[in-house]
Amino acid sequence: MNIDSIERGIVLDHIRAGHSLDIYHALRLEELPCSVAIIRNVKSGKMGKKDIIKIDDDIDIDLEVLGFLDPGITVNIIEGGRITQKKHLALPERVSGVIACKNPRCITTQEKGLEQIFILRDPARRLYRCLYCDAERKQ
């Protein structure tokens, strides 16, 4: 298999195997006019298998969403065909617009258009709580 290198753009590396399409849709990469390559089940000495996404353009990536979906991802910024910056992610303290509260009595389910906000309460368990009703949501 031959996947060309990119001159300027972003490479999302160390994605958990089989989760690249979740990342693709969550970041709305299908809306980009540039090339996007999804490489699945790549051999990895560190992870066994991993996925990689290559974006052939320098775009703004929502690191909060990315960190929430998979905090183990490495974001590589490519300029001139070389990695110029590496960003290592972590679980964000606050997440909005990514997940929905499942509590039917929560104000966010009653009031359409109210932003759903979750706060990280237990990083070890990847546990978030709704800002409004305190309902639990595991990542």
Residue 105, domain CATH: 2.30.30.20
Q: Which of 73, 88, 103 is the last residue of a domain?
A: 88
Q: Both 65 and 22 in a single domain? A: yes
- Mean of pLDDT values over 110-124: 91
What does the pLDDT read at residue 2? 62
What would the two tokens of residue 46 be? 């560190």
Q: Is a pLDDT exceeding 70 seen at residue 101?
A: yes
Q: Both 67 and 28 in a single domain? A: yes
What does the pLDDT read at residue 21? 95
What are the phi and psi torsion angles at 66 (to 5°)? -60, -45
CB neighbour list of residue 37: distance below 8 Å, 6 or more residues apart: 3, 52, 53, 54, 56
On whether residue 3 sits in a domain, the answer given is no
Residue 54 or residue 64, greater confidence: 54
On whether residue 1 sits in a domain, the answer given is no
Q: Is a pLDDT exceeding 80 seen at residue 4?
A: no
Q: Is a pLDDT exceeding 70 seen at residue 35?
A: yes
Total number of domains constituting the chain: 2
